[in-house]
Structure 1
Amino acid sequence: MNTDRSAAADPLDVEVEFLTPDLRSDLLKRWNEPLRRYHNETHLRAVLHAIDALEADGEAFDGTAVRLAAWFHTAEFDPTESENNDKSAAFTEKTLDPAAPVEEVTRLVRLMGGHRVEAGDLNGAVLSDADLAVLGSDPDTYEAYSQDVRHEFAHVPGERFVAGRVAALEGLLERRSVFQTRSGRDAWEKQAHANLNRELGMLRAGSQIPGGQIPGGV
């Protein structure tokens, strides 16, 4: 994948239609809340960077709607709650300029709750792949991601956490592919399977894995 274009600037600084300076500032404050260990500004930057990379590699999608959805997709976040995407969608509907593609952005925000993308949903495929791109990262980055997510959900007891993590990883590996776009599969699929299988093996062997997620998520 050609990432030269996506590496040209900090994605957080790139202008997005309908993302006003005040709205950008408010969202960044949310992404930097102390309770966030993984779902923070670093994650947002990585998602936007991945969107740029997919676009540079020729994927066709509504760049405004997808980038706005990236900014909003965990605008409301509490690791002890399970309705973060629905709450973020409600915040999007309330906050975003009515002239923006509010309905589509809201749909995409909700979609990130399970990453279940229907065939032909180009916007959903790109946003889902960008959000999951960390799964196809190098082993050190993947381990850091795992550590950060486990810290973020430290309130979840160990056995429940492991059970939920195993179910989530198995669910991803049972899919026809983790990534929905051609570019995403080419760039990240092979490494994602290696990372997921490695972690699953350690979990099944009873190792103390620092990473994970609550049941049903990644």
Structure 2
Amino acid sequence: MMDPRTEAGWKAAWRALGAAAPDGLHAQLLAAWSEPQRHYHTLQHLGECLTLAEELGDEMDHPSEVVLALWFHDAVYDVRAHDNEAQSAQWAERALREAGVAANARKRIMDLIMATCHGAADAPASQDSAILIDIDLAILGSSEPRFAEYETQVRAEYAWVPPEIFAVKRREVLRGFLSRERIYATGTMHTRYEAQARRNLSRAVGIA
């Protein structure tokens, strides 16, 4: 798993956009991803996403934009809020504008961040958004032990929700993914993760 604390990939993504990250931004993002209310949406998740992005770079139209979108996609994370993606996208927009990144690239990165809302099974708007969404959902197709860890981590983030309510709502979310014709839009990720994701989800909702 890639270590987000290593700056090489971070700096390379900015260079590919003809810019340099604003001073202190890398440290600010690391601090955000390390906030105490996080248990799943942590540097572990970010590192897993960045590792997959590196593996899938040849399939992307704008790899550096996908990488930066991943850095920002859960940069703002308040488990009780409903606008985390929008807040994260706005943070990205401010940073990218400050760095002098072109408007079209800024718009694509913001759209990628907003694509991680996962509120519907609509077709992704671009190849890069399809890859990024698949990367963000790769945890569903992870090994059985990692998926179990993920479920524990999510429960910890929602520790304030009564168990009986959490169980119902969580089952609804997981059944939503399971009901999709395809969980993963891209061929590579579908081949790699689809079958395992359906096994994990079926067990989690009690139909396996």
Instruction: Tell me the TM-score range normalised by the shorter chain.
Output: 0.7 to 0.9
Is the 8 Å Cα contact of residues 59 and 183 (structure 1) preserved in structure 2? no
Could you report, residue by residue, the CA deviation over 1:75-115 in whole angstroms, capped at 9, with x for unpaired residues?
A: 11111212111111121122223415211111111111126
Percent of pairs with identical residues: 32
Name 2:178's counterpart in structure 1: 173
> TM-score by structure 1 length?
0.82
Name 2:56's counterpart in structure 1: 54
Task: State the 1:121 CA deviation.
Answer: 1.3
C-alpha distance in 2 between matches for 1:40 and 1:19:
24
Task: State the 1:172 CA deviation.
Answer: 0.7
Name 2:156's counterpart in structure 1: 151
Name 1:190's counterpart in structure 2: 195
Residue 25 and residue 119 in structure 1: after superposition, are their counterparts in 2 closer, same or farther (change >3 A)?
closer
C-alpha distance in 2 between matches for 1:28 and 1:81:
21
C-alpha distance in 2 between matches for 1:50 and 1:120:
20
Which stretches of structure 1, 4 residues or more, deviate above 3 A after TM superposition? 9-12
Residue 201 and residue 107 in structure 1: after superposition, are their counterparts in 2 closer, same or farther (change >3 A)?
same
> TM-score by structure 2 length?
0.85
Name 1:82's counterpart in structure 2: 82
C-alpha distance in 1 between matches for 2:90 and 2:171:
30
Which has a greater percent of helix? 2
Gaps of 5+ in 2: none
Which amino acid letter does the alignment assign opposite residue 107 of structure 1? D
Gaps of 5+ in 1: 1-6, 205-218
1:104 pairs with 87, 108, 114, which one? 108
Which amino acid letter does the alignment assign opposite residue 47 of structure 1? C
C-alpha distance in 2 between matches for 1:119 and 1:25:
31
**Count of residues paired in the alignment:** 194
